[in-house]
Amino acid sequence: MIAATDITAGYGNGADILHGISIEAHARELVTILGPNGCGKSTLLKTVAGFVKPRRGRIEFGGDDVGKVPIHEKVRSHAVGYVPQSDNVFGTLTVAENILMGARGLERETRERRFTRLMERYPALSSKLRRKASALSGGERQILSLARALMAGPRILLLDEPSAGLSPSMMHDVFDEIAQIRDEQDMCILMVEQNAYEALTVADRAYVLTVGKVAMSAKAVDLLNDPAMEKLYLGGDPDE
């Protein structure tokens, strides 16, 4: 379970980007974070992951205060997987090498079991294990970065725009995959998204940010049916 409470954060000596944000996500829950470009979604995810240090507030994983635990330690101690918004695969490495990067420190038996399972799950990757990741399509690269994160066996998964640059059909595949992972592996997933409608159709709950604040927090299904939400955030025409 993730609980971020009253988080204020920014970069270097710069102004605050997040102004007192509180969010929660529980096991077996897919929570999406929506909002316009530049409102702080990635910053929030980086702060939860530990790449950005909060200036104020508290971050807990499973009830433990992890605000000051460095990311590499958190990966081990709290089984956190983080998939950044871009540059999330190593183009010069093969598909297999990329996946195995998620297996660092694992015992051989665990590594082999997970690798076999991932290969069954993603035939598109298993048929291209020796190809360079740079030769994959955008959708395949997204699945590859997800597979690498899953290789580490996370209990908490942080995804920054997993549908970025995908065709509508690939986007649905990736979202279906994320929803399946939540259901099968009891995972706690925080997913930042630009494609609000589609994200809400697979998510359980959502937070909508505006300039570093939570503007709205609701069940995904309620947001999908909320006309105000449509006008404000989902690209509906306000004059209609």
Ligand X SMILES: Nc1ncnc2c1ncn2[C@@H]1O[C@H](COP(=O)(O)OP(=O)(O)O)[C@@H](O)[C@H]1O
Residues near ligand X (CB under 6 A): 11, 14, 17, 35, 37-43
Two tokens, residue 33: 């974070």
Q: How far is the CB of 122 from Mg ion (least distance, A)?
A: 25
Q: Is 78 or 163 the residue whose CB approaches Mg ion more closely?
A: 163
Shortest Å distance, C-beta 18 to ligand X: 8
Q: Which residue is nearest to Mg ion (CB)?
A: 42
CB of 52 to ligand X, least distance (A): 8
- Contact region for Mg ion (CB under 5 A) — 4-12, 40-48, 102-110, 166-174? 40-48
Rank residues 6 and 65 by Cβ distance to ligand X and give the closer one. 6
Amino acid found at 175: F
**Residue 88 site contact among Mg ion, ligand X, none (CB < 5 to 8 Å, cut-off depends on kind):** none
Query: Which C-beta is closer to Mg ion: that of 41 or that of 111?
Result: 41
Q: Which is nearer to Mg ion, 43 or 111 (CB)?
A: 43
Q: Which stretch binds Mg ion (CB under 5 A): 23-31, 39-47, 171-179, 216-224?
A: 39-47
Among 10, 21, 23, 42, binds Mg ion (CB under 5 A): 42
Which one of Mg ion, ligand X, none is in contact with 81 (Cβ closer than 5 to 8 A by kind)? none
Q: Find the shortest distance in angstroms from Cβ 152 to ligand X.
A: 24
* Minimum CB distance to ligand X, residue 105 (Å): 28
User: Could you write out the DSSP letters of every residue in the chain?
Assistant: -EEEEEEEEESTTSPEEEEEEEEEE-TTEEEEEE--TTSSHHHHHHHHHTSS--SEEEEEETTEE-TTS-HHHHHHHH-EEEE-SS--S-TTSBHHHHHHGGGTT--HHHHHHHHHHHHHH-HHHHTTTTSBGGGS-HHHHHHHHHHHHHHT--SEEEEE-TTTT--HHHHHHHHHHHHHHHHHHT-EEEEE-S-HHHHHHH-SEEEEEETTEEEEEEEHHHHHT-HHHHHHHS---TT-
Question: Considering the rule CB under 5 A, would residue 145 count as an interface residue with Mg ion?
Answer: no
- Cβ proximity to Mg ion: between 128 and 145 the closer is 145
Complex with ligand X: residue 39 or 59, whichever CB lies closer = 39
Q: What is the per-residue burial (b if ≥16 Cβ within 10 Å, else e) of 59-75?
A: bbbeeeebbebeeeebb
- Look up residue 213 and give its two tokens: 């604040």
Question: What residue ranges bind Mg ion (CB under 5 A)?
Answer: 41-42, 85
